[in-house]
Amino acid sequence: MSDLVAGPRERARARVVRLQRQMVDSDHPAFVFLVLLTAGLVAGGLLSPDVVPQTAMFLPIVLASLWLGPRTLPWLVGLCLIGVLVLTLALPEITLVTVVRVLITFAIALLIMVTSFRRTKLGVAGPRGESMFVDLRDRIANQGTIPGLPSGWHVESASRSAGGTSFGGDFIVASKATDGSTLDLIVVDVSGKGIEAGTRSLLLSGAFGGLASAVAPERFLCEANEYLLRQEWQEGFATAIHLHLSLRTGDFELRKAGHPPAVWLHAGSGRWSVLDSDGPVLGLIPDSAFEVVRGRLMPDDALLMYTDGLVETVSRDIASGIDKLAGRGQLLFPSGYQRGARKLIDELASSNDDGALVLVHRRSSHLAH
């Protein structure tokens, strides 16, 4: 009996949800409101032109540019322009000032229409399109969210886009094994910078995130390379560095594809070393091979992976930039590397290039507890 009652309730709830989605996705409610608003303004202008002037028609036109999609916007704008003509012809006297106002109104409406036609490829209104891009940007960020780790590990990531925009060509992918024994961290630098590279990052971040959890560590860069080759982009190459880390022993495997080398900060000696290996950039050479570097992070050791936006500038080559990054990284040791990734990005990232950095720290036993 309960199943029979639950069935209609579930169906009713599903209808309500569908109706809510249709109200959000459809232009009809906003279109009806704007038509009524336009009619009200025209009626008010005819009854009291001193209170409701012709310029009041700007209100529905501007609201339409914000609320309506490219298919329904022209109809509303056309209706508003008809309203402007009706109000103009109803005036007892048409002066030069009146004509100029009408021409300005038509010019602004034309600009809004042109903007609408440019959005037809996307097929959604301005705010919805912006919210889609914000959602995609957040999805890129979520790919780099560091999962929960054992107490003996501290991992941070930070990124910055060229010019301070929200979209960039550098992104981070983090993936932990289902049994919690290993962690995979990938830092990727897509060709280009800023918004130009951001569109490619939207696609690659999802693809690389899926690959990281679907293939063996030694196959990740190979599969990523083949994926990029299949895209056949004119500028479809990227560099990447991939860390496969055992959270139980500290053993790691490091592979890179045309990417700046990782920096290993040794707590015991107070020195640092560069972990370089061979491997071509992704998306250019089929059947590429990527050399592996192995090691073990000891207590208090740290590892830095980054993009060239942190170490290369017009006035500084990569080698000296790596020296500077490593030196700044060593200075973070007394603080336990807390907020170290953000500090290094803020201090070293170039304003003219994207930058991303991952900091991995194996805590000593007394810090782990």
Rg (CA), the chain: 29
The greatest distance separating any two alpha carbons of the chain, rounded to the nearest whole angstrom, comes to: 91
On whether the CB atoms of residues 202 and 140 are closer than 8 A, the answer is yes
Residue with tokens 């070293």: 348
Structure confidence at residue 155 (pLDDT): 95
Question: Using CA atoms, how far apart are residues 108 and 111, in angstroms rounded to an integer?
Answer: 5
Structure confidence at residue 293 (pLDDT): 97
Is residue 289 scored above 80 in pLDDT?
Answer: yes
Structure confidence at residue 161 (pLDDT): 78
Share of the chain above pLDDT 90, in %: 44
Q: Over the stretch 1-38, which tens digit does the pLDDT of each residue have?
A: 444 444 566 666 666 555 445 444 556 788 889 999 99
Contacts of 251 by beta carbon, 8 Å cutoff, 6+ apart: 245, 294, 295, 296
Share of the chain above pLDDT 70, in %: 80
Is residue 253 scored above 90 in pLDDT?
Answer: yes
Mean pLDDT estimate for the chain: 83
Question: Domain ranges in the chain?
Answer: 2-124, 131-368
Token couple for 257? 């594809």
Instruction: Kindly state the DSSP code that residue 256 receives in the 8-state scheme.
Output: E
Question: Using CA atoms, how far apart are residues 21 and 9, in angstroms rounded to an integer?
Answer: 18
**DSSP secondary structure of 318-363:** HHHHHHHHHHHHHHTGGGTTTTHHHHHHHHH--TTS-EEEEEEEE-
Helix residue ranges per DSSP H, the chain: 2-25, 28-47, 58-67, 73-89, 96-118, 126-143, 194-214, 220-231, 318-331, 340-348, 365-368
On whether the CB atoms of residues 70 and 123 are closer than 8 A, the answer is yes
| Burial environment of residue 333 by CB neighbours within 10 A (0 to 12, 13 to 18, 19 or more) | middle
Q: Over the stretch 204-241, which tens digit does the pLDDT of each residue have?
A: 888 898 899 899 999 999 999 999 999 887 777 899 99
With residue 264 as reference, give the H or E element that holds it. strand 262-265
Nearest-5° Cα angle at 205, 201 to 211:
140
With residue 272 as reference, give the H or E element that holds it. strand 272-275
pLDDT band at 136 (very low <50, low <70, confident <90, very high): low
Question: Using CA atoms, how far apart are residues 255 and 277, in angstroms rounded to an integer?
Answer: 7
> Is 16 or 327 the better-scoring residue by pLDDT?
327
Pairing of strands 292-296, 272-275: unpaired
Structure confidence at residue 19 (pLDDT): 47
On whether the CB atoms of residues 71 and 41 are closer than 8 A, the answer is no
Query: CB-hemisphere CA count at 13 Å for 106?
Result: 10
Residue with tokens 């390379």: 225
Q: Over the stretch 155-192, which tens digit does the pLDDT of each residue have?
A: 999 988 776 666 677 889 999 999 999 999 999 998 86
Report the CATH fold assignment for 131-368.
Answer: Phosphatase 2c; domain 1 (3.60.40)
